[in-house]
Amino acid sequence: MSETVSVNIQMDPDLKERAEMVFQDMGLNMTSAVNLFVRQTLLQGKIPFAIYADPFYSESNLKAIQESIQQAKEGKIVVKTMEELERMADGR
């Protein structure tokens, strides 16, 4: 076996536990899984899977949220009952 080095990473304990259970089902441990990830990254020259941002945190959504918060602070709030909202949705 070739010489190895230790690599320390920080991870949420729940995330680690859940990942270990999945890896165990695959016959892997955390070390083997991380090594697979790194080998595939080197082989492919990129992250070996698609990475998507949560659209909730998009710039336009965060801006809309901040505007809503500001409007609420200024008392610019419209209150509607569910019945009123349903009528609006139906175009009545």
Residue 31: the pLDDT is 96
- From CA 86, how far away is CA 82, in angstroms rounded? 6
* Residues 41, 48 contacting (CB under 8 angstroms): yes
- From CA 76, how far away is CA 25, in angstroms rounded? 53
- In single-letter form, the type of residue at position 49 comes to F
pLDDT, greater one: 87 or 40: 40
- 13-25 vs 30-44: helix crossing angle, rounded to 10: 80
Domain ranges of the chain: 1-51, 55-90
Q: What is the mean pLDDT of residues 13-41?
A: 96
Confidence (pTM): 0.56
What's the pLDDT tens digit per position in 49-82? 998 888 888 889 999 999 999 999 999 988 899 9
Q: What is the mean pLDDT of residues 26-36?
A: 96
Task: Provide the terminal-to-terminal Cα distance of the chain, rounded to the nearest Å.
Answer: 75
